[in-house]
Amino acid sequence: MTTSNADLRDWVDAVAALTKPARIHWCDGSDAEYQGLVAEMQKSGDLIALNQKTYPNCYLHRSNPSDVARVEHLTFVCTNDRDAAGPNNNWMAPTQAHQKMDELFAGTMQGRTLYVIPYCMGPIDSPYSRCGVEITDSAYVAANMKLMTRMGSAALARIEREGKFVRGLHSTGDLNPDRRFIMHFPEELLIQSIGSGYGGNALLGKKCHALRIASWQARQEGWLAEHMLLVEIENPAGERFYIGAAFPSACGKTNLAMLIPPESMAGWKVRTLGDDIAWLHLDDEGQLRAINPEAGYFGVVPGTGPATNRNAYDMIRHDTIFTNVALTADGEPWWEGKGDGQPAIDWQGRPHDAKNGPAAHPNSRFTVSARQGSSYSPLADDPRGVPISAIVFGGRRRELAPLVYQAKSWRHGVLMGAGVASETTAAATGTVGVTRRDPMAMKPFCGYNFGDYWNHWLSFEKRAKKLPAVFHVNWFRQDDSGHFLWPGFGDNLRVIQWITERCAAKVGARETPIGFLPHSTDIDSRGVDLKPGALDALLKVDAGQWRAEMASVATYLQEFGERLPAELLDEHRRVVKDLG
Ligand code: SAT
Ligand code: MN
């Protein structure tokens, strides 16, 4: 196979001349091709078949123990002007980065297969979708891209029609962390990644394209590429609301997207459109609409159990690739929070011994096609996307941030998003549990200067006819003895109910300097196991603590100097003044 697109042909030829693969395979995206990749990886040891009776077509991949998460310190945005990347990104001059990467890629595919993977982010016939081509020497990446994206012939046909695509070059290299780099060249619509076979570093359609490069394109073209789940909420009256919610990695996006209503909320329905990324466009009527550019999930496995996320638990019973989970004695996958079975072999392939830590890696993942989920909405394939009613920001904060509060305006919502903070998780290499600013949950993913990014967000105020209401949630508040105050999971629908009622102007609220909060009687807590006083604690706004928080937000915002929009500072001053 080859292509009528000369740019693509020339690029593949140039990459092959540099990396010297033994053979070239153009991916057509067929099921037969997927089965071939799986068979090949079983032979090479890259995949281990799981118990085919209980987990049909499920496989385990063990990554190198030094390669289990995104590496933010090795991820760069290489723009001609350093300020374009901003203090929120690592920066390298494009010429220097190209020289470094050319040296690292030279001969790296010797003896290996070079896969050419054309893919489309978003429904194949949507004007909002964008295509890319990933070149990789990893069969694991090719198989994951088949599950995660619309990959193969149809995508190639669109590329040949449009003539435009994002290029992503990836090689697993020698997995030496000293020779590992994930480079983005937004001005060239180019990504180069070497030395890691892990998810966000290697599946270039996901964070690298659909967030870092897409956010850059989105600013130029007037839309938004965001780290958001997309979910449809239907109330018992049959009214539907579409919510985009931005939480950092491993903070429950997949769980919220697949939520199962608690028993006491009969008649409520939740349908999943996406669990990680949303692209938001203004339509001709000035309404913000969203598509999910992905077609599959790369979800955190630990904690996925019948009580926490039954939909995901059932979804990953077949046709799933597991990465870095443990094994039971009879060859089933096992992870902490699974709820049954016992680990026999840990994620590194050693006999399980609790002294070595968790049996499954805390950032172990499942890769699965979204079509397998029973809550998947057919609207995820609608080229027009869905109209967004509410945008929800959130983080993992044991104190301060209330269960839910609503911004007073779009501008206030942008400030709320810019001030998001969250405790770090195992999704990225580094210390876990440290609170850091993670604006709009985009700290690791915004492909340009956050100052310009907030300006772009603010610009929607002028361009849109009707903007979604903006909220902030925090499912992770703890009491003094370190217990969670809120049960989370399915019960989060009680908070979402309030959000939908606010969108429909059906419920009042308590006005505070940080935003509108529910009266505690407006959160339906029938049948919830809450400690006495918990709801009041969850909805408390402590002015002293918030003054300190706003001072810390100001210090953070000042890092962006002249690029920081004046409107954001004005809004910040307003909140501080109201706090007294
Ligand atoms: O590793 S990924 O970036 O794909 C997943 C995540 O961290 O959100
Ligand atoms: Mn994510």
Largest CA distance in the chain: 69
For helices 214-221 and 450-463, the axis angle rounded to 10 degrees is: 40
The total of other beta-carbon atoms located within 10 Å of residue 537's CB is 15
The runs of H, that is alpha helices, within 188-252 are: 199-202, 214-221
One domain, residues 10 and 76? yes
- Taking the model in full, what pTM does it have? 0.98
Q: Which among 327, 347, 372 is the end of a domain? A: 372
Chain mean position to CA 161: 29
Quick check: is 56 in a domain?
A: no
Which helix H or strand E contains 332, and what residues bound it? none
Is residue 472 domain-resident? Answer: yes
Check if 206 has its Cβ closer than 6 Å to any atom of ligand 1: yes
pLDDT in tens, the chain (580 residues): 789 999 999 999 999 999 999 999 999 999 999 999 999 999 999 999 999 999 999 999 999 999 999 999 999 999 999 999 999 999 999 999 999 999 999 999 999 999 999 999 999 999 999 999 999 999 999 999 999 999 999 999 999 999 999 999 999 999 999 999 999 999 999 999 999 999 999 999 999 999 999 999 999 999 999 999 999 999 999 999 999 999 999 899 999 999 999 999 999 999 999 999 999 999 999 999 999 999 999 999 999 999 999 999 999 999 999 999 999 999 999 999 999 999 999 999 999 999 999 999 999 999 999 999 999 999 999 999 999 999 999 999 999 999 999 999 999 999 999 999 999 999 999 999 999 999 999 999 999 999 999 999 999 999 999 999 999 999 999 999 999 999 999 999 999 999 999 999 999 999 999 999 999 999 999 889 899 999 999 999 999 999 999 999 999 999 999 999 999 999 999 999 999 9
Residues 529, 565 share a domain: yes
Which range marks the domain in which residue 347 is found?
297-372
Q: Domain boundary at 222, 254, 273, which?
A: 222
Asked if residues 232 and 377 have their Cβ atoms less than 8 Å apart, the reply is yes
Same domain, 477 and 328: no
Q: Which of 325, 349, 372 lies at the terminal end of a domain, its last residue?
A: 372
Q: Which residue has its alpha carbon closest to ligand 1 atom 6?
A: 249
> Is the domain of 204 the same as that of 101?
yes
Q: How far away, in angstroms, is 148 Cα from ligand 1 center?
A: 12
Q: Is residue 59 a part of any domain in this protein?
A: no
* 64 lies in some domain: no
Instruction: Locate the ligand 1 atom nearest the alpha carbon of residue 248 and give its number.
Output: 8
Task: Kindly report the CATH number assigned to the domain that includes residue 478.
Answer: 3.90.228.20
3-class SS at 374?
Answer: coil
Residues 6+ apart with CB under 8 A from 225: 210, 211, 214, 215, 217, 218, 277, 279, 280, 293
For residues 513 and 420, state if they share a domain: yes
Pair 242, 108 in one domain? no
Q: How many domains does the chain have?
A: 3
112 with 29, same domain: the answer is yes
Q: Is residue 60 part of a domain?
A: no
Q: Is residue 205 part of a domain?
A: yes
Active-site hit among 58, 251, 446, 503? 251
Q: What is the CATH number of the domain that holds 323?
A: 2.170.8.10
Same domain, 146 and 264: no
Nearest to 86 by CA among 73, 76, 74: 76
What confidence score (pLDDT) does residue 1 get? 72
Q: Note whether 291 and 301 are same-domain residues.
A: no
Backbone angles phi, psi at 29, to 5 degrees: 80, 10
Same domain, 413 and 560: yes
- Verify whether ligand 1 is closer than 6 Å to residue 207 (CB atom): yes
Question: With a 6 A CB cut-off, is 364 part of the ligand 1 pocket?
Answer: no
> What is the DSSP pairing of strand 130-136 with strand 166-171?
parallel
What does the DSSP 8-state code read for residue 468? Answer: P
In a domain, 210, yes or no: yes
